[in-house]
Chain A
Amino acid sequence: MWQRETFKKIKQVPGEEHVLPGSALCAGCGGLESLRLAAKVLGDDVVYVNAAGCFTMLAAYPYTSFKGSWLYTTMGSAPAGAQGVRDALDLLIAKGRLPKHENLKVVVLGGDGSTYDMALSSTSGAMNRGLDFYYICYDNEAYGNTGMQLSPATPYGARTATSPCGLQHPSGASQEKKDIFEIWRAHKPPYIATVAPRYPLDLEEKFARAAAFTGPKMVLALAACPTGWLYDPGETPEVAKLAVETGLWPLKEAINGVLTHTYVPKRKPVEAYLKLQGRFRHLFEPTMQTEAIQHIQARVDAYWERATREGS
């Protein structure tokens, strides 16, 4: 049974903010909430290495949301940028040209569009080289900054601007969400976790646990997205909660490749989650697409049956 050791009560979450308010991001951004919580453990001695995506707008001249540093790279190579920064900091400290107390954590911020496809090569390379860095993927399941187009993280049945509901595909996206967690896990980095912004203690605990490891620390953060998923910004906590409680977004970690679920939900029917969001509305009206909903339910059930069988 997985237990939190550092963060047992909500009062233990530090009050100090490290992601400052007033950014250009959308109201109710679940990704930003995940980052806000993560930064409470990461602190300010950080250089964020960014790939093209929604978070790119967190540093828009002459403003930044951070007290720490920032380097925007490209959509496909933020982990390579992290490699350059980490190596340079290490060698400058080793050569005595940078005092040790000036050291920084190197944290990649990439969306799912970057993480799941274009940056896969540079992420794989960084993990393979054992780079000591954090990778936070804020996953809103589509190319969000360009207006919600299909990405490899888009789940089956979601409508996006490039997976519209039509005669050929009445249920929207016909492909399954790529399992980036398992792709990462195949590299056996010391620490991988999924987090959701509605589960702050689980999230904080994971960043605290990650800090103990040297090497790649990979975090997949649910970025419930009112603008793209089509729900009221005030409902982000509820949407994020139901993503977990239906079992669609498992909270888990893998230490050196060994998988543990950090929370086992009772699993509400997936409809509860799908119904809240405009991107799934076509599954319910004008006619119920029962088969598509059953397909989504069956895949969640199969996932958890396997997890139970394997005792993870």
Chain B
Amino acid sequence: MDSQMMTGNLAAAWGARLADVDYIPAFPITPQTEIVEALAKWCAGGELAARFVTMDSEHSMMTAAGAAEATGARVFTATSSQGLLYAFEVLYSISGWRAPLVLVNVSRALAAPITLESDHNDVLAARDSGFLQIHAETCQEVLDSILMAYRIAEDERVMLPVIVNLDGFSLSFTREPVRIPDPEQVRTFLPPFHPAHLGFRASVPHSLGVAVIGGTPYAYFRHQMHLASINALEVHREVAASFEQLFGRRYDVVEGYRLDDAEDVLVMTNSCAGTGKAAVDAARGEGKRVGLLRLRMIRPWPADAIRGALRGRRAVAVLDQNLAPGQGGILFQEIAASLYHEATRPRALCSFIGGLGGQNLSVGELRAIFEQTAKAGVSGKGIGPVLLYTQAEHREMTQLQMVAAGSVKRET
């Protein structure tokens, strides 16, 4: 089948449609809304045999989603940013219920100040919720990752929910060529959902989410979740092989780009990794031995794959599109922790913070990152967190402040 031009949002909706989901509780939020609009249309038109319900909030939406999944339906839903945080406590309930639904998050920076554009503080806030997380770079990967997500989530060794993340605007509203897999082949890849350990029925009563008294049972169930999450690394390997065999596209927990002989490696996630890859190509053109490591699976944390890709390098830079105020980049900390025990760990680790709230990542900034990382590799002294902010951005901000102060009129 030839590819079609479609947005990341429409690709996400196609993922849910091909997964033949049963139930879609929804609530609109920019930049996610196009996903549920497409699904509502298909449910109304009969292209998708699912029940679509508009809920009263994301908190209710996630509760209904988890409850329906716990009853035995295959559930899909989507949100973004403030919506994800509004539903936050429910995320922990759903993973505790071991209800393997798929939630698409369209990344959008968090208020205040309020904005619609992307960074990853929303989805990374959910990194300890028990949801697995897959972060996509392209529209095709969004669709494919949703199909893989259901296979992984519903595996008896896992039984945990998954967040598939795509960037707001830069992916959600960007059209790219996407191949829509053949529904028959998808059915082979993803059989119908018949959970062995979920469901409420008259003949088999079931209590879920019950209280525990004391730390012993609490720790027992929490440990189970951790071990199941770790199992998802092996399950991902199997699922990726099966997916490649059927559809010819390969996805691993991390993606290496021009890593073979790279001295220095830049670590990125999501759609801006495309910008990073272009910067690698440009630097390679100048004779620099650099490469890029894109983290695709964030939970469970693919520590072995990361170590394998980064051990023996001269220097590693992590470009975080998030900011933990008072600390720095979230992924930088996790990368650093993973490398600590490596005998041949990189001589320097550098932390850069950029692309916040849709902030541009310029060619010049990426060149500067490579230069500073190389220098750190030579000196053996890491740097950061470096808050990326160009002179042009500074000029723009100064202009805005003067307008706010009433001292100049905005150029029209």
Interface residues in chain A, defined as those with a beta carbon under 8 Å from any beta carbon in chain B? 44-45, 47, 49, 56-57, 59-61, 64, 66-74, 76-85, 87-92, 95, 97-98, 101-104, 121-122, 124-125, 128-129
Distance (whole angstroms) from the CB of A176 to the closest CB of chain B:
26
Contact B68 A77, beta carbon cutoff 8 Å:
no
CB-CB nearest in chain B for A47: B200
Asked whether any CB of chain A lies closer than 8 Å to the CB of B207, the reply is yes
**With A70-B206, A84-B75 given, can you name 10 additional A-B contacts, CB distance below 8 Å?**
A66-B207, A67-B205, A71-B208, A77-B90, A83-B25, A83-B60, A84-B68, A84-B70, A85-B68, A103-B202
Q: CA of A196 to CA of B120 in the docked complex: distance in angstroms?
A: 51
Distance (whole angstroms) from the CB of A25 to the closest CB of chain B:
12
Show 8 A/B contacts (Cβ-Cβ < 8 Å), sorted by A: A61-B211, A83-B60, A84-B70, A87-B53, A88-B22, A88-B72, A88-B73, A89-B200
Asked whether any CB of chain A lies closer than 8 Å to the CB of B217, the reply is yes
CB-CB nearest in chain A for B211: A60
Distance (whole angstroms) from the CB of B213 to the closest CB of chain A:
6
Asked whether any CB of chain A lies closer than 8 Å to the CB of B388, the reply is no
Contact B60 A122, beta carbon cutoff 8 Å:
yes
Distance (whole angstroms) from the CB of B129 to the closest CB of chain A:
14
Cβ contacts under 8 Å, A76 to chain B = 59
Find A59's partner among B90, B200, B207 (CB 8 Å cutoff).
B207
Q: A61-B212, A70-B207, A97-B72 are in contact. Are A80 and B64 (CB under 8 A)?
A: yes
Distance (whole angstroms) from the CB of B146 to the closest CB of chain A:
20
Asked whether any CB of chain A lies closer than 8 Å to the CB of B196, the reply is no
Q: CA of A45 to CA of B69 in the docked complex: distance in angstroms?
A: 19
Q: CA of A152 to CA of B207 in the docked complex: distance in angstroms?
A: 30
Residues of B157-207 at the interface with A, using a CB-CB cut-off of 8 Å, are: 194, 199-203, 205-207
Find A121's partner among B25, B57, B207 (CB 8 Å cutoff).
B57
Q: A80-B60, A98-B72, A121-B56 are in contact. Are A85 and B207 (CB under 8 A)?
A: no
Q: A47-B200, A88-B68, A121-B57 are in contact. Are A80 and B63 (CB under 8 A)?
A: yes
Q: CA of A90 to CA of B69 in the docked complex: distance in angstroms?
A: 13
Q: CA of A128 to CA of B199 in the docked complex: distance in angstroms?
A: 26
Asked whether any CB of chain A lies closer than 8 Å to the CB of B210, the reply is yes
Q: CA of A122 to CA of B89 in the docked complex: distance in angstroms?
A: 15
Interface contact tally, CB-CB below 8 A: 156
Residues of B1-57 at the interface with A, using a CB-CB cut-off of 8 Å, are: 22-23, 25, 49-51, 53, 55-57
Asked whether any CB of chain A lies closer than 8 Å to the CB of B82, the reply is no
Q: A69-B206, A84-B63, A88-B23 are in contact. Are A74 and B56 (CB under 8 A)?
A: no
Cβ contacts under 8 Å, A129 to chain B = 53
Q: CA of A121 to CA of B60 in the docked complex: distance in angstroms?
A: 9
Asked whether any CB of chain A lies closer than 8 Å to the CB of B366, the reply is no
Contact A72 B211, beta carbon cutoff 8 Å:
yes
Contact A60 B64, beta carbon cutoff 8 Å:
no
Cβ contacts under 8 Å, B399 to chain A = none
Q: CA of A257 to CA of B69 in the docked complex: distance in angstroms?
A: 34
Asked whether any CB of chain A lies closer than 8 Å to the CB of B61, the reply is yes
Find A77's partner among B53, B60, B201 (CB 8 Å cutoff).
B60
Contact B59 A80, beta carbon cutoff 8 Å:
yes
CB-CB nearest in chain B for A120: B56
Find B67's partner among A71, A121, A128 (CB 8 Å cutoff).
A71
Cβ contacts under 8 Å, B231 to chain A = none
Q: CA of A76 to CA of B205 in the docked complex: distance in angstroms?
A: 24
Contact A72 B49, beta carbon cutoff 8 Å:
no
Contact B68 A87, beta carbon cutoff 8 Å:
yes
Q: CA of A74 to CA of B93 in the docked complex: distance in angstroms?
A: 8
Distance (whole angstroms) from the CB of A70 to the closest CB of chain B:
4
Find A91's partner among B22, B200, B212 (CB 8 Å cutoff).
B22
Shortest Cβ-Cβ A-B pairs, 4 listed: A84-B67, A125-B56, A80-B60, A88-B71
Distance (whole angstroms) from the CB of A195 to the closest CB of chain B:
25
Cβ contacts under 8 Å, A87 to chain B = 23, 51, 53, 64, 68, 73
Indicate the member of A87, A101, A124 with the most B CB atoms within 10 Å: A87
Cβ contacts under 8 Å, A82 to chain B = 67
